[in-house]
Structure 1
Amino acid sequence: MIDSSRISVVISGPVFDKVKESDVDNITAKACQSVRRLLPKAEIVISTWEKTNCSGLDFDIVVFNEDPGPNINNVNRQIISRCGGIKAATREFVLAIRSESKLVNTNFLNFIDQYNLYDEKYRFLKNRVIIPASCPPRCGELFHIGDWYYFGYKEDVLNIWELSLMDDKQFNKAQDDLLYNAHRYLITTFIQKYMPLTFYKKKDINKENREVYEKVLVNNFVIIGLYEYGVRSMKYILDNKFSTQMFHYCVSYTYSDWKSLYNSYIVREGEKLQCKRPVKELFGIYVYCPLRRIVLKSLCQKIVSRVRRTISGRKKISSP
């Protein structure tokens, strides 16, 4: 396992005192404490905004970035704060997390350099970066990658985040611009540094783009799951309720999913990885998720029908 002395932990974003009214402790301070406890020799880099009060935080380096101001999903703030911190980091490896996150274990360390076969056409990084989640086609998404946690070689993590800033004027949500979303903007802009990509309208969710998405994921990332990663958000609580776990099977790739992609696109016959899914995961993907879609579709249809009847009734009343 990688010694923590080789790791910089970049904690980026605003310094949180509280994220909920029930919180009494400094949330970002908790993030720093969790790093010191689980990665005792790691370098801690705080990357935040000018004039931020960082007193009470345990860190080695602080970067005060100029705030670009809000935009769609604050994607420009994410890019600037992440890049500022990663560039300031001095160690070989970087774990990039958000300022309301804490380490609960170091499971992510086990996956670095574990998979060494590539399709060079879709390999954009020196080594794969370890991420917790990305939305799969089964939930109707392409090019939708989580922005929470990244672990890998410094140059690779920086490569992912060193992007041009988003110009909100390019996009119009009313016209089905798919990039009207921070997660899609990040991954598509990264891909376009290396190859052309057409992904703007709903018609671009097609078989060809699905294959590109999957090949980029499997050649540049290892997806190990939100529950398995070892970092948790203190703002968006990831509880162990059955319904919550089932929901994540619906909206995110699992480690088994990623290994299946690796088998499909990378590995020759006779060298396939074992990717037997746990029973709970099988139930979530093949039973819970389809039933959830049917229920939601039925509910939406009932709401639309009721609204139409209401409008029709009002028109009849108002008619002379």
Structure 2
Amino acid sequence: MNSNKMRDKLISDEDITFVVQGPVRPETDHCLNSIRKYFPKSKIILSTWENELIDNLIFDELIMSKDPGSMDITIHNEIVAKENTNRQIISTLSGLNKVKSEYCVKLRSDNIITSKNFLSLFFEAQNYSRDAKYSFLENRVLVSSVNTVDPRSFIGFVYQVSDWFFFGKTRDVLNFWQQDIIENSEYYTNQSLVNYDKYRNGFNFGRFSAEQNITLGFLKKHYDFDCEHYRDHKKNNIDNTIKIILANFYCVEPKEIGFDFEKYSRFVKFNIRSFNDIKSYMGFWSTTITKKLWIIYYKELRNERKSFLEFLYVMSKRFVAHLLKIKSYS
């Protein structure tokens, strides 16, 4: 038996609490049942909102928070969209504050668990050395590659860690999510001074994406940075983003982690039957920090030599991203 499998057995179901956060959706029943299927003895905390319908749902502890409402997205003093980041912070933190186990999983109420793979991946993540200057957690936390943007891609978002899935030591996951809610202020939402609007993909999300707001909320507690908007590349923000991700997180594709996101399945699973799905999948593959790219960046940071296949992998990602940029953004 290999060392990862041996260590998996050291994490029993009872050692893990699942915090399922967000509104009760049509997929929530499937989410909760999938956890019970693979982790029958783990505790499930459902952290949702007052007055949500919870009949016939399977969970061990229920937390119903008061809905903080959405944040207004403004352009020139006009409200153009709503932002739900504060809802995610509150429902996640309310659930995490009740966790008593050593390990925990944070996932959305419309995610589905498909395997126990993330247990061995957590230990795999700890095998790599860490830069103490950028290490703000005691152990690396496992996160989704999808939506963890590669700042060196043409999209160029800095300090964006995916908020879909977290697995790690409870104290580390709590460290990340223990933060203030975002002020409903024009600084966070007014886009009039932000360049590169075409890379928003049609979304009005303000100066920062939801994932960036949450990641920056965590970093404020540990790190002195200067970032004014979602593609702010001054003061080594690109390189520092990579160093912070390498030191604190391990980015892996959802399918390998063992979860699915039915709402965005076209980003998670390769569907050869649909050209649009292929385009969506390749778009996220080429512009996010996949597990292979994480390892390549790790080697670069340590001045280790990349193999020819690794070099080819990076070139392939850049080439696909370039084609998508020409087709979608030019």
Q: SS of 1:63's equivalent?
A: strand
Tell me the distance in 1 between the aligned counterparts of 2:55 and 2:230: 47
2:165 aligned residue (146, 149, 153): 149
> What is the match of residue 205 of structure 1?
233
Larger Rg: 1
TM-score (norm 1): 0.82
1:93 aligns with 2:113: no
Choose between structure 1 and 2: higher helix proportion. 1
Counterpart amino acid of 2:281?
Q
SS at 1:96's partner residue? strand
* CA apart distance, 1:207: 6.2
Deviation at 1:287, TM superposition (A): 2.8
For 1:302, the equivalent position in structure 2 comes to: none
Contact 1:247–1:289 (8 Å) recurs in 2 = yes
| Counterpart residue number, 1:219 | 247
In 2: Cα distance, 1:92 partner to 1:227 partner: 24
Displacement of 1:215 in angstroms is 0.9
Task: Indicate whether 1:135 and 2:152 are aligned.
Answer: no
Aligned partners of 1:181 and 1:56: how far apart in 2? 35
Mapped to 2, the partners of 1:273 and 1:282 lie a distance apart of 10
Contact 1:256 1:276 (C-alpha < 8 Å) held by counterparts: no
Structure-to-structure mapping, 1:39-118, within 5 angstroms: 39-71=39-71, 72-114=82-124, 115-116=126-127, 117-118=129-130
Aligned equivalents of 1:278, 1:161: Cα separation in 2: 35
Q: What displacement does 1:263 show?
A: 1.8
Residue of structure 1 in register with 2:75 after alignment: none
Amino acid at match of 1:62: L
Cα drift, residue 275 of structure 1: 9.8
Letter in 2 for 1:151: F
One-letter amino acid of the counterpart of residue 191, structure 2? K
Which of residues 253, 262, 266 is equivalent to 2:298?
A: 262
Gaps of 5+ in 2: 1-7, 72-81, 196-205, 272-277
Aligned equivalents of 2:61, 2:308: Cα separation in 1: 41
Q: How far, CA to CA, are the matches of 1:275 and 1:41 in structure 2?
A: 45
Match of 1:252 in 2: 288
Cα distance in 1 for residues equivalent to 2:89 and 2:280: 29
How many Å separate the matches in 2 of 1:244 and 1:282? 19
The aligned residue for residue 270 of structure 2 is 240
**Structure 2 contact 108–165 (Cα < 8 Å) conserved:** yes
The answer on 1:173 being equivalent to 2:191 is yes
Hey, what's the Cα distance between the residues in 2 that align with 1:240 and 1:50?
A: 37
> What is the aligned partner in structure 2 of residue 15 from structure 1?
24
Give TM-score, length-normalised by structure 2: 0.80
Give the unaligned 5+ runs of structure 1: 19-26, 299-320
Deviation of the 1:224 alpha carbon = 0.8
Matched residue of 2:51: which SS?
coil
Residue matched to 1:305:
none
Contact 2:212 / 2:230 at 8 angstroms: preserved in 1? no
Preserved contact between residue 44 and residue 60 of structure 1 (Cα < 8 Å): yes
More divergent stretch after superposition (88-97 vs 197-206): 197-206
Q: Secondary structure at the match of 2:120?
A: helix
1:290 to 310, 314, 322: 322
In the alignment, what sits opposite 1:229? 257
Superposition misfits of 4+ residues, deviation over 6 angstroms: 272-275
Quote the offset at 1:227 in angstroms. 3.2
Letter in 2 for 1:197: F
Aligned mates of 1:145, 1:202 — CA distance in 2: 12
* C-alpha contact (below 8 Å) 1:63/1:88 kept by paired residues: no
Q: Does the CA contact (< 8 Å) of 1:225 and 1:253 recur in 2?
A: no
| 1:12–1:96 CA contact under 8 A, matched in 2 | yes
- In structure 1, what is the equivalent of residue 77 of structure 2? none
Q: Tell me how far apart the structure 1 counterparts of residues 221 and 239 of structure 2 sit (CA, whole Å).
A: 18
- Percent identity reads 27
1:260-318 per-residue CA deviation (whole Å, 9 max, x = no partner) reads 222233x475xx79895598x667513322112122344xxxxxxxxxxxxxxxxxxxx
Root-mean-square deviation (Å):
2.4
Given the alignment of the two structures, is residue 121 of structure 1 paired with residue 149 of structure 2, yes or no? no
Larger displacement relative to structure 2 (105-114 or 156-165): 105-114
